[in-house]
Amino acid sequence: MSAIPRYLRVAVPSPLYRHFDYLPAEHTDITRLQPGVRVRIPFGRRDVIGVLLETAAHTEIAAAKLKRARRVLDDTPVLGEDMLWLARWAADYYRHPLGEVVQALLPAPLRQGKAAELPDPCSWRPTAAGIAADLAALARAPKQAALLQALRQHPAGSDAAALEAAGVTRGAALRALVKRGWAERTPPAAALAGAVTIAAASVPLNAAQRAAADTIHAALATFQAFLLEGITGSGKTEVYLDVIAASVQHGRQALVLVPEIGLTPQLITRFCARFQHVALFHSGLSDNQRLATWLAARDGRAPVVVGTRSAVFVPLKNPGLIVVDEEHDASFKQQEGLRYSARDLAVVRAQRHAIPIVLGSATPSLESLHNVRQRRYTRLNLPERAGSARHPSLRLLDIRSRPLDEGLSDLLLDAVHRHLAGGGQVLLFLNRRGYAPTLMCHHCGQVVQCRRCDARMTLHGDRRLLCHHCGAERSPPAHCEQCGSADFGAYGQGTQRIEAALTRHFPDAGVVRIDRDSTRRKHSMEKLFAGVRLGRHRILVGTQMLAKGHDFPAVTLVGILDADQGLFGTDFRASERMAQLIIQVAGRAGRADRPGEVLIQTHHPQHPLLTHLVGEGYGSFAALLLAERRDTGLPPFAAMALLRAEATGAAAPRVFLEAARTRLAPHCGKQVQLLGPVPAPMERRAGRHRAQLVLLAAQRSLLQRALAAALPELDALKEARRVRWSLDVDPAETH
């Protein structure tokens, strides 16, 4: 007997671990409703937008309590079968309420109930000539120059609203640029992915690239995960372009995920040069621009979608291939709300779609290397730099008994001299912004602390103290709180201080600093990089912003000022991250045909991790770390989850986690370890006390089962009302 559906089962934006049943609105033909359409429903005292999961013949809700939906918003589902499946999968894996996961999958306008349609916005983009043009030629036409610069920021096209937001005028300036052949209308998205013209590759692939690309070609239309390993400059991007072209030629769409900082105009330009139309999806776009990409991808009009983390939720009508560039990058992990890993979800998606996925990196995550060893992923290797560039050589500088000037050893300063004299550029890396990380009383040694965090304040310039954890800001105190002395000293170095010291040593080198502070203003990063490429700046000092995405072909020396930070970090991933950062920064050296030199300052030149990394390379270093993780039973050899709690009071988080532990314990048995609760490594942050409970299991399924059984109970605990708590499955950081 087939029962007639009478109820709507709806995913509601709510933190509750359940779905909700409704009666259909009056005059709705419920048999014609497809899962994935949006419905407006009364919820509590408000109306909210939910997504229909299914229609049901039965409900457990008492008839008197059932409410009626107000109306259905869509004729066709906004979330198709695949995306609903992905939402369910993610809700299950991350133990997150399905209603919130479904919300995370929708672009903002759809969450707000706006129509799932957009007129194709008329947009403009620079031509290849416009990208190559020297802005100096427009010195007398500042409006054109400003417009061209704004257009270059978005090689895939800017619509009128975006240009207005950038504060540039269009009108006559735009007509003039078009006349010069420097700007053009962005061609309308191809009606179907298959109808795209693809430009020929600018360089033929070398043998290693060809072999890698052929292996991936052979897997098109089946699920297979590839780890494409190759140092910076080995030509991974050319391999992506080649296999994407093959997929698009078959009428299939490609989704490319890149780290937040990797989505540079250079990269977009390369993709645009190859494919007529590239749809972008990242946080720098307006809600409507993102919606336009989302709809075009869903309807099969976008052959190639390039985006950051959240682009993993962009629906594809004809999926053909997924690429995750710099798969080790931490920005693929969402750190609040639904704490998903875009890389991991991308693999899950590829499996569901039965298509190949390519994870690329010079410094693969231990997770992916482990998956290769388990034969879940296929490793493809690009051992050499493409073209004529050579490997940089890495060397440790023992600075234990060397004279240091603001953290710069004489050895390093000599090398800078040598490279500048030889006509090279120099890149110095220090992952600490500001002037100095500590302001200390000379008299009693008291350090100026943030009042809201267990952390010291960082000195910026000479009259501003900033907390890098909560953003608190104040001026340096006149007197020490402990002893009353007025004598303070700045200890340690930040990028500002290094910049000042280098300017003193090399006044003619045009020292430039690149970090979050110096690039805060719109387009300022592009301007600084342009100055570097033109040779105006011969020394660059910066943070990890320098580590990816940008090429500095004339850089011949890379100096890493402090390699020791990562050796003794509290997080179990600290040394993995340190090595990745060092190798990524080192990869900036000698990209063209000049040999690069990489010098690493350390107080621990005999530390086995450092000597291994420098002597044997990343692969061997990673093998060492993997052995260590296996011996200590940490990921990727175990599944981990972290239950976090925070509150303004010191006791509440601990009390809640103790109660949570009591609830979890019976479901954990011997197979799932419960560690803690313990205070978070930085216990107080932004005025809130934080504690955590770690769950660790050799078998993921056991961990998942324990969480599934216990989590719904945690919300009901009375101790839960005093804290904010969250669950992080596969945490990227344990603090």
Give contact residues for Zn ion (rule: CB under 5 A).
Answer: 441, 443-444, 446, 450, 452-453, 467, 469-470, 472, 480, 482-483, 485
Kind and range of the H or E run holding 462 = none
Q: List phi, psi (to 5°) of 53.
A: -90, -45
Tell me the C-alpha distance between 253 and 220, whole Å: 12
By a kind-dependent CB cut-off of 5 to 8 A, residue 304 interacts, out of Zn ion, ligand ADP, none, with none
| Residue number, 513 or 548, with CB nearest to ligand ADP | 548
Report in angstroms how near the CB of residue 609 gets to Zn ion at its nearest: 31
Report in angstroms how near the CB of residue 233 gets to ligand ADP at its nearest: 4
By a kind-dependent CB cut-off of 5 to 8 A, residue 206 interacts, out of ligand ADP, Zn ion, none, with ligand ADP
Report in angstroms how near the CB of residue 682 gets to Zn ion at its nearest: 9
CB neighbourhood size of 457 (10 A):
26
Tell me the C-alpha distance between 221 and 355, whole Å: 5
When asked if residue 203 is in the footprint of ligand ADP (CB under 6 A), the reply is yes
Instruction: Dump the DSSP string for 207-252.
Output: HHHHHHHHHHHHHTTS-EEEEEEE-TTSSHHHHHHHHHHHHHHTT-
Q: List phi, psi (to 5°) of 88.
A: -65, -40
| Residue number, 235 or 392, with CB nearest to ligand ADP | 235
When asked if residue 387 is in the footprint of ligand ADP (CB under 6 A), the reply is yes
Instruction: Give just the sign of the alpha carbon dihedral 321, 327, 329, 330.
Output: positive
| Residue number, 233 or 407, with CB nearest to ligand ADP | 233
CB 166 within 8 A of CB 124: no
| Residue number, 203 or 218, with CB nearest to ligand ADP | 203
| Residue number, 472 or 720, with CB nearest to Zn ion | 472
CB 532 within 8 A of CB 509: no
Report in angstroms how near the CB of residue 551 gets to ligand ADP at its nearest: 7
Kind and range of the H or E run holding 726 = strand 724-729
CB neighbourhood size of 716 (10 A):
9
Three-state secondary structure of 524-589: HHHHHHHHHHCCCCCEEEECHHHCCCCCCCCEEEEEECCCHHHCCCCCCCHHHHHHHHHHHHHCCC
By a kind-dependent CB cut-off of 5 to 8 A, residue 472 interacts, out of ligand ADP, Zn ion, none, with Zn ion
By a kind-dependent CB cut-off of 5 to 8 A, residue 482 interacts, out of Zn ion, ligand ADP, none, with Zn ion
Report in angstroms how near the CB of residue 367 gets to Zn ion at its nearest: 32
Residue of 78, 205, 480, 582 that binds ligand ADP (CB under 6 A): 205
Residue of 97, 130, 155, 230 that binds ligand ADP (CB under 6 A): 230
| Residue number, 230 or 307, with CB nearest to ligand ADP | 230
Report in angstroms how near the CB of residue 184 gets to ligand ADP at its nearest: 24
By a kind-dependent CB cut-off of 5 to 8 A, residue 446 interacts, out of Zn ion, ligand ADP, none, with Zn ion
Report in angstroms how near the CB of residue 48 gets to ligand ADP at its nearest: 44
Binding footprint of ligand ADP, residue count (CB under 6 A)? 14
By a kind-dependent CB cut-off of 5 to 8 A, residue 36 interacts, out of ligand ADP, Zn ion, none, with none
Report in angstroms how near the CB of residue 368 gets to ligand ADP at its nearest: 16
By a kind-dependent CB cut-off of 5 to 8 A, residue 187 interacts, out of Zn ion, ligand ADP, none, with none
Report in angstroms how near the CB of residue 238 gets to ligand ADP at its nearest: 4
CB 614 within 8 A of CB 394: yes
| Residue number, 389 or 490, with CB nearest to ligand ADP | 389
E strands of 603-661, at which residues? Answer: 639-647
Pick out residues in 659-688 that bind ligand ADP (CB under 6 A). none
Report in angstroms how near the CB of residue 134 gets to Zn ion at its nearest: 45
Cis bond upstream, residue 15 (ω within 30): no
CB 476 within 8 A of CB 463: yes
Based on C-alpha coordinates, what's the Rg of the chain?
27
By a kind-dependent CB cut-off of 5 to 8 A, residue 485 interacts, out of ligand ADP, Zn ion, none, with Zn ion
Candidates 96-104, 203-211, 510-518, 658-666; binding stretch for ligand ADP (CB under 6 A): 203-211
| Residue number, 388 or 401, with CB nearest to ligand ADP | 388
Q: How many residues does the chain have?
A: 735
Task: Give the position of tokens 């053909």.
Answer: 320
List C-alpha distances in Å: 557 to 502, 511, 697.
Answer: 15, 14, 45
List C-alpha distances in Å: 543 to 376, 494, 569.
Answer: 35, 9, 18
Pick out residues in 473-512 that bind ligand ADP (CB under 6 A). none
CA nearest neighbour of 202 among 274, 126, 275: 274
| Residue number, 387 or 535, with CB nearest to ligand ADP | 387
Say whether 130 sits in a helix, a strand or coil: helix
When asked if residue 596 is in the footprint of ligand ADP (CB under 6 A), the reply is no
| Residue number, 387 or 633, with CB nearest to ligand ADP | 387
Report in angstroms how near the CB of residue 592 gets to ligand ADP at its nearest: 9
| Residue number, 328 or 688, with CB nearest to Zn ion | 688
Report in angstroms how near the CB of residue 230 gets to ligand ADP at its nearest: 5
CB 305 within 8 A of CB 281: yes
Tell me the C-alpha distance between 594 and 553, whole Å: 8
CB 220 within 8 A of CB 352: no
CA nearest neighbour of 382 among 597, 550, 215, 593: 215
CB neighbourhood size of 489 (10 A):
10
By a kind-dependent CB cut-off of 5 to 8 A, residue 443 interacts, out of ligand ADP, Zn ion, none, with Zn ion
By a kind-dependent CB cut-off of 5 to 8 A, residue 308 interacts, out of ligand ADP, Zn ion, none, with none
Q: Mark 706-735 with x for binding to ligand ADP (rule: CB under 6 A) and - for no binding.
A: ------------------------------
Candidates 201-209, 476-484, 575-583, 688-696; binding stretch for ligand ADP (CB under 6 A): 201-209
E strands of 240-318, at which residues? Answer: 253-257, 278-281, 304-307
Report in angstroms how near the CB of residue 330 gets to Zn ion at its nearest: 21
Report in angstroms how near the CB of residue 386 gets to ligand ADP at its nearest: 3
Candidates 29-37, 61-69, 164-172, 228-236; binding stretch for ligand ADP (CB under 6 A): 228-236
| Residue number, 232 or 493, with CB nearest to ligand ADP | 232
CB 483 within 8 A of CB 500: no
Half-sphere exposure of 178 (CA within 13 A, CB side): 12
Residue of 232, 371, 519, 580 that binds ligand ADP (CB under 6 A): 232
E strands of 110-198, at which residues? Answer: 123-126, 158-159, 183-185
| Residue number, 390 or 735, with CB nearest to ligand ADP | 390
Report in angstroms how near the CB of residue 273 gets to ligand ADP at its nearest: 11
By a kind-dependent CB cut-off of 5 to 8 A, residue 52 interacts, out of ligand ADP, Zn ion, none, with none
Cis bond upstream, residue 608 (ω within 30): no
Pick out residues in 233-292 that bind ligand ADP (CB under 6 A). 233-238
Residues that bind ligand ADP (CB under 6 A): 203, 205-206, 209, 230, 232-238, 386-387
